[in-house]
Structure 1
Amino acid sequence: MRLVVVTLLLGLAATTAHSQEAGKWLCVADAATGFSFDWYKKTWDAARFNVDTHKYILQRSEKGISPSAQWVVTRLGDKRPDVYCANDFDGDHLSCRGMTKFEFSKTTLRFQRIYDFGYVDPLDKEGSDTPAISIGRCTPL
């Protein structure tokens, strides 16, 4: 019986290691916070955001998506990525910068996604955009 359990655990570990090397993860947000503009008071207030739809696929970029991207992050259900990562992993850490910053660790399987537009330089009018950070965990696919 122990041999069966050990064999199953070794097979699961090999599958997980292979999935991580294959380079594709499902990332699901646990929480999101940021700031939103209160139109009545004309002030920025701390805010918590619903993360029910904050699910992403992190994967190596395919040819044709972006000639400079090595990795892309796509919201589940979308056809096009919303984060393009120009650099490869630095050890176990991936850091992507652009309109949205995305960071991921292969060791902890945690990610954070930062959208920092809307306060310093409003894209349209004051309060039309909300700076936010979400955190969560990824599982290899």
Structure 2
Amino acid sequence: MNRVKSVFFTGIFLAFAASASAQSSYLCAEDMITGFSFDRGARQWKRAEFKAEAKYIVTRSTEPSRKWEVKETGSSFPVAICEKDFDDNGKLRCIGIGKDFLFNRKSMRFLTTYTVGYWNEDALRAIVPARSEGDDTPGMAIGRCTTL
């Protein structure tokens, strides 16, 4: 009888552990960020280094059409949403308005891109006529995540 109980409780523990793992949230912090900025004096775009300081929380979404959401710490608005779950290789792709977030839970690394500015200035000026070239600085950041 003890063996049956042991197998039963081991099975329950493993099911709980798998469920808990699938429901994990992640805290991700930028390590480095690089991109481009507009030199107004020279009137040209140049490479730029930025201070890596953003932190993100990746959590299960409560919205039925989404699997995961990515929010900057301190914000309740998602910067990117993930329509699909992690793939078989542990990769997650999340898309936002101007910000994409790619995460690999096997390596616990992420890459995020900010794509506003430079290539879409005409569309941005249609929304904000007083906008000047270089008001946004496209960039890409890499970093690491931990399980919460």
Query: Normalising to structure 2: TM-score of the pair?
Result: 0.76
RMSD: 2.0
- Looking at structure 1, the residues matched to 91 and 18 of structure 2 have their Cα atoms a distance apart, in angstroms, of 16
Aligned residue number for residue 96 of structure 1: 94
Is it true that 1:137 corresponds to 2:138 in the alignment? no
The alpha carbon displacement at 1:18 in A equals 7.1
- Looking at structure 2, the residues matched to 101 and 87 of structure 1 have their Cα atoms a distance apart, in angstroms, of 14
The alpha carbon displacement at 1:23 in A equals 2.4
State, as a whole percentage, how many aligned pairs show the same letter: 41
Larger radius of gyration: 2
Higher helix content, 1 or 2: 2
Query: Normalising to structure 1: TM-score of the pair?
Result: 0.79
Is the 8 Å Cα contact of residues 79 and 96 (structure 2) preserved in structure 1? no
**Match among 71, 83, 88 for residue 74 of structure 1:** 71
Is it true that 1:111 corresponds to 2:110 in the alignment? yes
Is it true that 1:86 corresponds to 2:87 in the alignment? no
The alpha carbon displacement at 1:96 in A equals 1.4
Structure 1 19/67 Cα, relative in aligned 2: closer, same or farther at 3 Å?
A: closer
- Looking at structure 2, the residues matched to 133 and 118 of structure 1 have their Cα atoms a distance apart, in angstroms, of 13
- Looking at structure 1, the residues matched to 64 and 61 of structure 2 have their Cα atoms a distance apart, in angstroms, of 9
Structure 1 45/19 Cα, relative in aligned 2: closer, same or farther at 3 Å?
A: farther
Aligned residue number for residue 127 of structure 1: 134
Counterpart secondary structure, 1:82: strand
- Looking at structure 1, the residues matched to 110 and 40 of structure 2 have their Cα atoms a distance apart, in angstroms, of 32
Is the 8 Å Cα contact of residues 80 and 101 (structure 2) preserved in structure 1? yes
Structure 1 17/44 Cα, relative in aligned 2: closer, same or farther at 3 Å?
A: farther
Aligned residue number for residue 49 of structure 1: 50
Can you give the 5+ residue segments of structure 2 that lack an aligned partner in the other structure?
Answer: 1-13, 126-131
The alpha carbon displacement at 1:98 in A equals 3.1
Deviations 1:95-139 (A, max 9, x none): 112321110001100000111120111123311111110100000
